[in-house]
Structure 1
């Protein structure tokens, strides 16, 4: 089998006023693993330089262009904006920074689609900043779906002990029940199955599907979502040859997953899945967008404006996101051979 080299992985810098610049600088200055995947940054030189100076980080930032080699022990940067550090400051997001953060994402997608980048890893953005820049999406996932023309996408969170996918994403808790339907849930289950086999290299993966109500509804006593929606999607997935169980009561499914019974849990809503996930993988969890034609992973935390620029941010999630993006890109290449 021919081994194809994977192009560099691109990091979009995220919101310039968040912790993205800091965790990027910490990654490049502290990680000396020579086997670490080739990585470049799409962002702003002024912000990175000012952040490095404030944190006492000495690191060469040099201009990188697609297709050119990467110098070791440097920070290769595709400079896409020239923000003023007197206006764009840590912890205080503003319009020009929000517009720039979208530019980094758009260019990263373009380079992934063209093959100049092997994958993209995103640093955190501000959802309100996204709207301020004129992009009315709930978050990264929906923006990326639009940029790549992807109809069915989902969020999957991955750690060494637990994987969780979400049937619904960013919406009020009061609207989850009305947003759930059997066809969308079935599509999410198929996306998870494809990701586990193709991207994670798991043969015959086992999926656990969480219930929506306490005790998975107790045969309709505590709610109808299981009978009316979830079981229909599960039966459709089983008929399609997918191995799964459910609806499993939400208060026990994560225990079973941690014990190795499931390769991934499909949760019905955001906090049902992410509270247990972040209890275990707060620093090393990775967000994966499944259903896209490109590989995209992300840090599993927000912009953290309250600590931005203070030297307190942990870069472990970014480190893990790059490793996972590289693994997924490599697995996809193997499948395509």
Structure 2
């Protein structure tokens, strides 16, 4: 079986992206299991290797490269050459924000043309992205637009817990207003289909309520569970999906991590992100489901406060690479 080709986007070059890439690709088992192609700026990788005192060698490639000529145990860099050498660490930069967008756009083009088998993304900075002229909430929305995908969701995966989101990057009031039964049903089905493809024959899905205690029969809120969640759960049950809810979020996540459920459907960003991150930032992986291409990501930000210090923990990137390798189409 041929090894999958994993495109690794550098993210915001002012952050820890280059460092976690260098640290992760120093793990020889990754090179034994895939062909990694870093999509970014070669000089930023070399700068990161220098501050880490790492013996990190890459092969520079461009659009003329023959992807059938990849060699084992080598790291390739699809060098876009967008970032100045003196880019400051840990600062919001329009140049770095635009660079992060261009790296991802290039990776999507390579995936669409079947030159790479999966995308693994280092973090970008949303403020820098906007300053760079790209008004998206984050990676997920860029991927959806550039692949013409309407039904998608963010899934966070860790060894003990998987969470998929009905809404993500919006304010809490807007998130609650935007929740509709059709969207909840789509996310339940995305969760079910994704886990079945991963080998779980009959996934057990727990669905969060919106209000404390899932509304407690109208005691809390204004009937959001009855209006927005229950119709979706009932339809999914009718279609044979093993789903339960709406359930109180304060106990559902505990039950899921002990094994009662294979995945939790969270209603909004912090409802789902909080439990995953309590279990450990180094263990979490962000997977965009519903796309025509595989995309995984670290579950942390650009960490501007420690960028350039060589102390970032690469374990989330390692796990994201492992997930990309596992999920990539088999040849």
TM-score range, shorter chain: over 0.9
Q: 1:248 to 1:113 in 2, by over 3 A?
A: same
Partner of 1:202: 200
Aligned ranges 1:163-312 → 2 under 5 Å: 163-198=162-197, 200-223=198-221, 224-312=223-311
3-state SS of paired residue (2:39):
strand
**For 1:46 and 1:327, how far apart are their aligned partners in 2?**
30
Q: Is the 8 A contact 1:46 1:82 kept in 2?
A: no
The 8 Å contact of residues 8 and 40 in structure 1, kept in 2 or not, is answered as yes
| Corresponding position of 1:41 | 38
Match of 2:77 in 1: 77
Whether the 8 Å contact between 1:10 and 1:108 is mirrored in structure 2 is yes
Where 1:283 maps in the other structure, the secondary structure is helix
8 Å contact kept, 1:207–1:264: yes
Q: Any conservation in 2 of the 1:10–1:119 contact (CA below 8 Å)?
A: yes
Deviation at 1:142, TM superposition (A): 0.5
> Stretches of 4+ moved more than 2 A in 1?
4-7, 29-38, 68-75
Match of 2:89 in 1: 90
Root mean square deviation, CA, Å:
1.6
From the superposition, tell whether residues 35 and 53 of structure 1 become closer, same or farther in structure 2 (CA, over 3 Å). Answer: closer
**Is contact 1:257–1:263 with CA below 8 Å preserved after alignment?**
yes
Helix, strand or coil: the match of 1:321?
A: helix
Are residues 1:61 and 2:81 paired? no
Give the secondary structure class of the aligned counterpart of 2:229: helix
Residue 146 of structure 1: aligned partner: 145
CA-to-partner distance for each residue in 1:191-221, whole Å, 9 max, x for gaps? 11111111x2211111000111111111011
Unaligned runs of 5+ in 1: none
In 2, the alpha carbon distance for the partners of 1:106 and 1:327 equals 23
1:25 is matched with 22
Aligned pairs (5 A) from 1:88-167: 88-167=87-166
Q: Relative to 1, partners in 2 of residues 1:310 and 1:73: Cα closer, same or farther, differing over 3 Å?
A: farther
Under a length normalisation based on structure 1, what TM-score does the superposition of the two structures give? 0.93
DSSP 3-state at the match of 2:59: strand
**Structure 2 segments unaligned to the other structure (5+ residues):** none
CA distance in 2, matches of 1:104, 1:236: 40
Give the count of matched residue pairs.
Answer: 327
Which range moved further: 24-33 or 265-274? 24-33
CA distance in 2, matches of 1:23, 1:43: 13
Deviation, 1:25, is 0.7
8 Å contact from structure 1 (residues 193, 242) kept in 2:
yes
Deviation at 1:35, TM superposition (A): 3.6
The normalised TM-score by structure 2 is: 0.94
